[in-house]
């Protein structure tokens, strides 16, 4: 019997990219059983674009809207929860800016590891649109000073038939459903960045993670890091961030500190080294320096203590305009004691897809 796959795509206000992603899934030589689009409260007409497209005639397409933009982590949380109910053998996860090559799914399922019950996850290699491998999407976890504990791929790794890894981002991994069911879904309160590290680390308690370089997916990341060499790292460092975009790095710092403390590869000293790097970046290249420094220290401490305070990107951007920005942060913090998902909607499908 052929292995069945339920795809999950998380989106927010990128309808054109979403349609390209779904077209890539529809073009797979190994068809998926269905696709669930998780919409993080888009305001750009995402649903209408899906309804106008021909995708529902090519895919069994379900649409799940969330009542707020709680970040990619919340989208994957609800996507995995629903996919676990699908009855499929595998869950295929990706953001809307991903486009799998036509044979990607067949190549993943064609590897010998697909038949290995100890394999929890199979991952394609991730490439930029120009063809360069994006090395940090797959790799290993190592305790390090001043840098995040993720060690990316080396060029020789791209040539292997298969390779066991410690970490996989949610850019196209195929997760065995019965293993995913043993753990809670990705944490909503991570909001963005390293939610994949936290969840995949839990999956590793039950099975192994395999990179399959012969399978490929394109990631249209607007700020890709195509190398882990010193020059590439320095270029990324000096680009800095506008304050309005700094929530990503700040939430990411908290999240990696929490993961590292739980799993034993982040110490107090290493946390201090991460904060020092962030402080230097802020002082050299960013505006709103004092507030940024306060938030960096606050979120590093939150990660150590396991405290998760998130606001929407719009509320974050407005913090410099408040007399007491940390109070504004607390007052606008998202709550996680209520569900925010609406009923799943099946988009119209052709008789051929319905069969």
Q: What is the pLDDT of residues 187-228, one digit of tens each?
A: 999 999 999 999 999 999 999 999 999 999 999 976 554 445
Residue-level pLDDT at 159: 85
What is the overall mean pLDDT for the chain? 92
| Dihedral angle over CA of 95, 98, 102, 103, nearest 10 | -70
Provide the pairing of β-strand 345-346 with 167-168.
Answer: unpaired
C-alpha distances in Å from residue 142, one per residue of 107, 147, 148, 192, 264: 29, 10, 9, 21, 10
Check: CB of residue 115 under 8 Å from CB of residue 38. no
The residues facing 6 across adjacent strands are 34, 91
Place of tokens 């995913």: 180
pTM recorded for the entire structure: 0.92
- What is the bridge-based pairing of β-strands 5-11 and 90-95? parallel
Return the structure tokens found at 351: 């008789």
CB 5 within 8 A of CB 32: yes
Listed in sequence order, the residues at least 6 apart from 208 whose beta carbon sits closer than 8 Å to its beta carbon are 116, 118, 119, 120, 121, 164
Q: Does 352 score more than 60 pLDDT? A: no
Determine the average pLDDT of the residues in 168-180. Answer: 97
Under the banding of pLDDT at 50, 70 and 90, the label for residue 243 is confident
């Amino acid at each position: 019997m052929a292995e069945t796959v339920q795809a999950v795509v998380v989106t927010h206000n990128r309808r054109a990219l979403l349609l390209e992603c779904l077209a890539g899934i529809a073009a797979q030589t190994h068809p998926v059983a269905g696709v669930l689009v998780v919409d993080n409260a888009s305001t750009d007409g995402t649903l209408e674009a899906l309804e106008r497209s021909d995708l529902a005639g090519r895919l069994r397409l379900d649409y799940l809207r969330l009542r707020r933009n709680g970040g990619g982590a919340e989208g994957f949380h609800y996507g995995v929860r629903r996919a676990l109910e699908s009855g499929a053998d595998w869950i295929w996860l990706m953001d809307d800016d991903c486009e799998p090559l036509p044979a990607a799914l067949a190549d993943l399922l064609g590897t010998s590891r697909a038949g290995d019950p100890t394999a929890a996850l199979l991952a394609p290699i991730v490439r930029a649109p120009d063809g360069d491998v994006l090395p940090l999407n797959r790799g290993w976890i190592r305790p390090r000073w001043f840098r995040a504990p993720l060690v990316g791929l080396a060029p020789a790794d791209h040539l292997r038939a298969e390779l066991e890894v410690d970490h996989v981002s949610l850019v196209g991994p195929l997760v065995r459903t019965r293993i995913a069911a043993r753990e809670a879904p990705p944490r909503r309160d991570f909001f963005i960045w390293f939610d994949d590290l936290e969840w995949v680390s839990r999956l590793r308690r039950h099975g192994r993670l395999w990179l399959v370089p012969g399978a490929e997916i394109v990631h249209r990341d607007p700020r890709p890091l195509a190398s882990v060499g010193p020059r590439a790292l320095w270029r990324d460092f000096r680009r800095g961030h506008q304050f309005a975009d700094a929530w990503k790095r700040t939430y990411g710092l908290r999240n990696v500190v929490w993961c590292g403390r739980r799993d034993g590869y982040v110490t107090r000293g290493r946390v201090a080294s991460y904060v020092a790097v962030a402080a230097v970046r802020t002082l050299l290249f960013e505006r709103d320096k004092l507030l940024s420094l306060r938030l960096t220290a606050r979120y590093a401490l939150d990660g150590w203590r396991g405290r998760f305070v998130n606001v929407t990107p719009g509320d974050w951007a407005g913090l410099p305009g408040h007399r007491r920005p940390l109070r504004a942060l607390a007052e606008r913090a998202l709550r996680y004691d209520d569900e925010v998902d609406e009923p799943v909607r099946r988009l119209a499908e052709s008789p051929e897809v319905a069969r």
